[in-house]
Structure 1
Amino acid sequence: MEKETRSAIERATQKARSILENDFAEQLAGDYDVMVDGQVAENPGAHLGGHQKALRARIVASVQHKRMTGMAPKDAVADYLRDAAFTTLNRFVALKMLEARSLVQECITKGEASSGFVNEYLAFAPGAKFPDGSGYKIYLESIFDELSTEVKVLFDRRDPAAALWPRKATFEELLAILNAPDLREVWSEDETIGWVYQYFNSGDERRKMREASQAPRNSRELAIRNQFFTPSYVVQFLSDNTLGRIWYEMRKGDTKLAEVCKYMVRGYGESFADAGQPYADEDNVVPHRLQKDPRDLRIIDPACGSGHFLLYCFRLLLTIYQETWDDSDGAPSEATGNSLREDYPDSERFRRAIPSLILRHNLHGVDIDPRCAQIAQLALWMRAQRAYLDLEIRRENRPIIRRSNIVIAEPMPGDSVLVDEFASSLTPPILGRLFKEIVDQMTLAGEMGALLQIERQLAFSIHRAREAYVLQQERQGQGYLPGFAPERRQSELDLSGIDDDTFFEQAEEKIFTSLKIFVADAVNGIGARRRLFADDAEQGIALIDIARKRFDVVLMNPPFGAGSLQAKSAFEKAYPVTKHDILTAFIERGIQLSQPRSRVGAITSRTPFFLSTYELWRKDVLEKAPPVVFADLGAGVLDSAMVETAAFCLEVV
């Protein structure tokens, strides 16, 4: 995307943020008695109706929830304002992008004159056009409700960040900004949503943070300081030489990716060893790589931002899936024990399944910024819809996509009362104790993100919980004659002969089920608190789930410089060799999350490769995963970042 176009997106994003935050601040103070200085009235005003009181309860619950994480009252209200403005802007940016892809009818490009509102909505409800715009609002909310069945994180109206709606003048100004002529061409570009994410926080805001503290003081500052969108050619270079190259070697060069991956580095006259065949590097023979079912290829971006790497990998995976299905002797999947063709013998059914299979099995992302979940999930969903279009799958025949593996790294619930209440509701009680241990271990998740080695920290807790439950079952079965022991109730875990991994999977499923019940049973106005609690708990469990997996491909544009001050001690203890710069710790962590012959691709500052400060990193970490591709790119690559960069790929020994 050209700099002039990016500048237009930046101006529009900053202006939209300003008008939305000003409008919402006035609404909070004037309507809901929530002040920007952090003061919140104990009770709703008498001027509020029943619906407005319910909205206020969600807003207040969100502000209190933020305070539970340690925010000052003023900061909690400011953070809610940012969330509300960002969510609102993203929703209407999404509608513009969905219009451009014909995934929704024209709904905001011409405001209330948009064809979807005039020809579809008003045709059925001709009296629904009102001077105050309330009929148009109901129409747009109906679109949000429909989209929320698949992109819940952005369009769910129960989200406290969606409680506020811009007033008429602000709303019209917002639409004028998005419908400006200089933005007409950007809405069909996949990367537009990523630029909106980057430009939501201004350069002045980043500069003030650096002036106030050399190191990030918290997770928000760490995220904002490192929001640098990765250029497409860098994404392609790294993905081509990781995922593309792995598949190329599995297929011994017989793949369309040889043409698609234009940045893939190949040796002149290279050949491929068969299984068990000895090889020598000087003969330019590539070691044998066992072919996998594509459902077993796992890719992760541990600092995923708007999901740029994952979007490009989606494109490569479409080819990988099709080539596998075309082979009659594909490798069996670890998940099903069958080949892709055996699980999907019908071509039409297979084509309908491809996009959802990619999102369910292959692509994973983690970030410390909650806003990334909105952006990355939306971007991947839109990419899946484009794939359906290319595959000629009609809208009514497309399966609903409800799952993506984008995870927010944040502390587990900070509300100790709800933690105790939920833990005590879990059965058997061993699960309640395990849940509380998980909450304790996740305290620094928001500061460390994917760097938190939670799978190591919890390994003993999970093992101990499994052994305790097995012992409890054995004791309950003692004292009965053969055949007279009580049958296991449906709600109990079946742990006969299972390992720690399977135990955690069963425990995880039971916790998720119990969270849904915990929210559904909420009464007396605490539903909003419980829903926020459950959302945080689900994200925490999902982060643990990802950390326990091992990946074939790790791709990233990691943060660089100092880590968060709040996690300094824990960070240095976990990464004694790579503690000098958070980027080198991310490379070490990428290797930890990999398996033998996996590839790690990253764009980082080039300084760790020659400064003496990083000598131990070069000796220790890079011996475990030596570079196989290296491009010294220099300055001017990461937009406004004042850093000389290198893009490189490592292969884990």
Structure 2
Amino acid sequence: MNKSVLKKFATNIRIELLSLVKTKVDYFLKLDISNLPIEFKSHESSIKEIINRCTTAEKLDKTKYEDFIEEVAYTWFNRLVALRFMDVNDITDTKVISPLDGHIIPAIFTEAKSGNISEDLNIDRTQFFNILDKKVESKDGDNECYKMLFISTCNYYSSIMPFMFESISDYSELLLPDDLLSTNSIRTKVIEGMSEENCADIEVIGWLYQFYISEKKDDVFEKLKKNVKITPSNIPAATQLFTPHWIVKYMVENSLGKLWMLNHPNSSLKDSMKYYIDEDTPTDTFLKISTPQELTLIDPCCGSGHVLTYAFDLLTLIYEEEGYSKSEIPTLILENNLFGCDIDKRAATLANFALTMKARLYHRRFFKKSTNPNIVELQEFGTQEFKGIKNFGSLLAPKDIQSFDDGIFSQSNAQYDLQLKILTSTYSCVVTNPPYMGGKGMNAELGDFVKKNYPDSKSDLFAVFMERGFEITKDLGYMAMITMQSWMFLSSYEKMREKLLKNYSISTMAHLDNMVMGIAFGTSATVFNKKKPDANTKGVYFKINLDDLDENREIRGLR
């Protein structure tokens, strides 16, 4: 995967999309609603919605205006990137944004012009062919017809993946870039930026999102230098850091993989785990797991789902070894084994998409009866027990549970129930890359919350999440995190260290030098077992330096 190409593409495409959307929004804001141009007469309600989203008391609201443009630009980036990945991996029945080999026009448009339009698409065929055949006036018939296909496809997938393809609002359609077919269009640039090689792994989606928000992250840290605290809405951009694949493997294999091997010592799973550490001293004291369904793993700060997608891979091998059929395995995994949550709606959406793609790639007919992953965007829901959750994230443990009813036809009830289940359950394994944020960067509410609830680890969010991680790990289960190294040395974490080393055992640790994670400080990938250490407790430790990595920043091997 060529990350430098992906970074350049994501940052450039964001700038271009923001500019294109801004130009369109500015145009609509200047229109006289009482005297719209003839081509927009039928879009009056959508134009009013655009105006309402950008103004307060009929005056331009700069914050609302900028947030709205950002939202719409990301919506189209999201759709284009998702469909490109699906095209490359033959998930779409007909390629939606990608052309056939040797062609420029998207395959779906080529097929439609020949009269082949899928029955799944809710499209006005008469209007489509009237525009195409120039029987009705249109500024750009081909682009208009292709937009009909593109939007109808997005709305079709909303029934299968509602988290990723929310039904597109009418005003969003108006703000879709005009040119989607030329060699200089946004669609073409997405194809060029996301090569088939880069789309070979669902991991590409997570990297693109991190690169897409990188400018916002830089802006947040510039403001932090001026003592501007990190607000809840900026926490995702400030704290999200994509975890290198080998670290994910190391943590998942020595938690989820370890637990299965302890219960099934003759399993061949070990042969598929490159970073698995064998137990030097066999033990009879471990969490008993009889069937694959009993293995549960949560990433409480799941980001775009990197940990969860690798855990999915490992779980498929476990289910296969136990004799389950290919058709039932992805559904069983999504229903029973994997859980995740994040305060960032976009990240949670991408995590849902990534796991769904894993399921669909594993079993071609998965969409026939698809199952949504157990991943939620953490929300307040207007209830007291979740008040402040956009600030506190999964650190918030609901106590006074209230009943919730947001309407009999609302999706919110199911999301509320799932969020409640995720935050009040315990798991066989907790694996995550938690947010890193020192006390000086925390806003007042977050600072007060961690001081009150986690006084021994309050100096940084990563340490607070270590403590929270043990709270949601089952006794004898495993908790694995990649954190800053400071918890091992600094006096501010002395009480926390004493508590951890007294009550929990370190199974294995990889101590990473500066820049191994791509950041200018040392980190530590630690796998804890939630049981008190005794005289026989041993841990396996590694020191990883920058020269232990290859040119792709993957580790050459644990030593």
TM-score bucket of the superposed structures, by smaller chain: 0.7 to 0.9
Query: In structure 1, how many angstroms separate the alpha carbons of the residues matched to 2:503 and 2:50?
Result: 49
How does 1:569-580 map onto structure 2 within 5 Å? 569-580=448-459
Residue 183 of structure 1: how far off its partner (Å): 3.2
Q: 2:379 aligns to what SS in structure 1?
A: coil
Distance 1:309-1:145 versus aligned 2 partners, 3 A rule? same
How does 1:416-495 map onto structure 2 within 5 Å? 439-454=383-398, 456=399, 458=400, 461-462=401-402
Query: In structure 2, how many angstroms separate the alpha carbons of the residues matched to 1:60 and 1:378?
Result: 31
Identify the residue that residue 209 of structure 1 maps to in structure 2.
220
The answer to whether the 8 Å contact 1:132/1:168 transfers is no
Query: In structure 1, how many angstroms separate the alpha carbons of the residues matched to 2:113 and 2:359?
Result: 27
Q: 1:631 aligns to what SS in structure 2?
A: strand
Query: In structure 2, how many angstroms separate the alpha carbons of the residues matched to 1:122 and 1:201?
Result: 40
How does 1:325-474 map onto structure 2 within 5 Å? 326=323, 350-389=325-364, 395=365, 399-413=368-382, 439-454=383-398, 456=399, 458=400, 461-462=401-402
What RMSD in Å do the two structures reach over aligned CA positions? 2.8
Identify the residue that residue 301 of structure 1 maps to in structure 2.
299
Residue 601 of structure 1: how far off its partner (Å): 0.7
Query: In structure 2, how many angstroms separate the alpha carbons of the residues matched to 1:622 and 1:215?
Result: 36
Match of 1:83 among 67, 71, 76: 71
Distance 1:445-1:190 versus aligned 2 partners, 3 A rule? same
Matched, 1:596 2:540: no
Distance 1:51-1:591 versus aligned 2 partners, 3 A rule? farther
Identify the residue that residue 121 of structure 2 maps to in structure 1.
none
How does 1:603-618 map onto structure 2 within 5 Å? 603-618=482-497
Residue 568 of structure 1: how far off its partner (Å): 1.9
Match of 1:108 among 94, 97, 102: 97
C-alpha deviations, 1:613-650, integer Å up to 9, x for none?
A: 110111124433331111111122333x3221111101
Matched, 1:650 2:514: no
The answer to whether the 8 Å contact 2:158/2:165 transfers is yes
Q: Name the structure where helix makes up a greater proportion of residues.
A: 1
TM-score (norm 2): 0.82
C-alpha deviations, 1:34-62, integer Å up to 9, x for none?
A: 9xxxxxxxx95542857534434655676
Matched, 1:6 2:9: no
Identify the residue that residue 161 of structure 2 maps to in structure 1.
151
The answer to whether the 8 Å contact 1:83/1:161 transfers is no
How does 1:618-637 map onto structure 2 within 5 Å? 618-637=497-516
Query: In structure 2, how many angstroms separate the alpha carbons of the residues matched to 1:102 and 1:257?
Result: 29
Identify the residue that residue 315 of structure 2 maps to in structure 1.
317
Residue 539 of structure 1: how far off its partner (Å): 4.4
Match of 1:557 among 429, 433, 446: 433
Distance 1:320-1:16 versus aligned 2 partners, 3 A rule? same
The answer to whether the 8 Å contact 2:160/2:367 transfers is no
Distance 1:26-1:357 versus aligned 2 partners, 3 A rule? same
Query: In structure 2, how many angstroms separate the alpha carbons of the residues matched to 1:404 and 1:160?
Result: 28
Distance 1:643-1:76 versus aligned 2 partners, 3 A rule? farther
Q: Which residue identity lines up with residue 154 of structure 1 in the other structure?
A: M
Identify the residue that residue 46 of structure 2 maps to in structure 1.
55
Residue 374 of structure 1: how far off its partner (Å): 2.2
Query: In structure 2, how many angstroms separate the alpha carbons of the residues matched to 1:550 and 1:559?
Result: 21
C-alpha deviations, 1:463-485, integer Å up to 9, x for none?
A: xxxxxxxxxxxxxxxxxxxxxxx
Identify the residue that residue 96 of structure 1 maps to in structure 2.
84
Q: 2:363 aligns to what SS in structure 1?
A: helix
Residue 155 of structure 1: how far off its partner (Å): 1.3
Match of 1:250 among 263, 284, 289: 263
Question: Using CA pairs below 8 Å that are at least 6 residues apart, which structure has the higher relative contact order?
Answer: 1
Query: In structure 1, how many angstroms separate the alpha carbons of the residues matched to 2:288 and 2:41?
Result: 62
Match of 1:24 among 18, 21, 24: 21
The answer to whether the 8 Å contact 1:256/1:319 transfers is no
Q: 2:468 aligns to what SS in structure 1?
A: helix
Query: In structure 2, how many angstroms separate the alpha carbons of the residues matched to 1:304 and 1:122?
Result: 44
C-alpha deviations, 1:171-192, integer Å up to 9, x for none?
A: 7521221122783421222211
Q: 1:567 aligns to what SS in structure 2?
A: helix
The answer to whether the 8 Å contact 2:479/2:528 transfers is yes
Distance 1:45-1:101 versus aligned 2 partners, 3 A rule? farther
The answer to whether the 8 Å contact 1:633/1:646 transfers is yes
Q: 1:265 aligns to what SS in structure 2?
A: coil
Q: Which residue identity lines up with residue 587 of structure 1 in the other structure?
A: M
Structure 1: unaligned runs, 5 residues or longer? 35-42, 272-284, 327-346, 390-394, 414-438, 463-506, 520-533
C-alpha deviations, 1:255-299, integer Å up to 9, x for none?
A: 12111112111134x54xxxxxxxxxxxxx353542233223221
The answer to whether the 8 Å contact 1:360/1:404 transfers is yes
The answer to whether the 8 Å contact 1:63/1:80 transfers is yes
Distance 1:201-1:286 versus aligned 2 partners, 3 A rule? same
Query: In structure 2, how many angstroms separate the alpha carbons of the residues matched to 1:149 and 1:302?
Result: 27
Q: 1:166 aligns to what SS in structure 2?
A: coil
The answer to whether the 8 Å contact 2:143/2:179 transfers is no
Q: Which residue identity lines up with residue 323 of structure 1 in the other structure?
A: E
The answer to whether the 8 Å contact 1:9/1:183 transfers is no
Q: Which residue identity lines up with residue 368 of structure 1 in the other structure?
A: I
Query: In structure 1, how many angstroms separate the alpha carbons of the residues matched to 2:312 and 2:65?
Result: 38
Distance 1:21-1:580 versus aligned 2 partners, 3 A rule? same
Q: 1:403 aligns to what SS in structure 2?
A: coil
Distance 1:354-1:57 versus aligned 2 partners, 3 A rule? farther
Distance 1:51-1:552 versus aligned 2 partners, 3 A rule? farther
Q: Higher mean Cα deviation, 255-264 or 308-317?
A: 255-264
Residue 221 of structure 1: how far off its partner (Å): 2.1
Distance 1:374-1:291 versus aligned 2 partners, 3 A rule? closer
The answer to whether the 8 Å contact 2:239/2:437 transfers is no
Distance 1:51-1:260 versus aligned 2 partners, 3 A rule? farther
Distance 1:108-1:21 versus aligned 2 partners, 3 A rule? same
The answer to whether the 8 Å contact 1:19/1:170 transfers is no
C-alpha deviations, 1:190-220, integer Å up to 9, x for none?
A: 21101111011234x3333223225742123
Q: Which residue identity lines up with residue 549 of structure 1 in the other structure?
A: S
Query: In structure 2, how many angstroms separate the alpha carbons of the residues matched to 1:576 and 1:100?
Result: 49
Structure 2: unaligned runs, 5 residues or longer? 117-124, 133-139, 532-559
Identify the residue that residue 152 of structure 2 maps to in structure 1.
142
The answer to whether the 8 Å contact 2:307/2:432 transfers is yes
Q: 1:183 aligns to what SS in structure 2?
A: coil
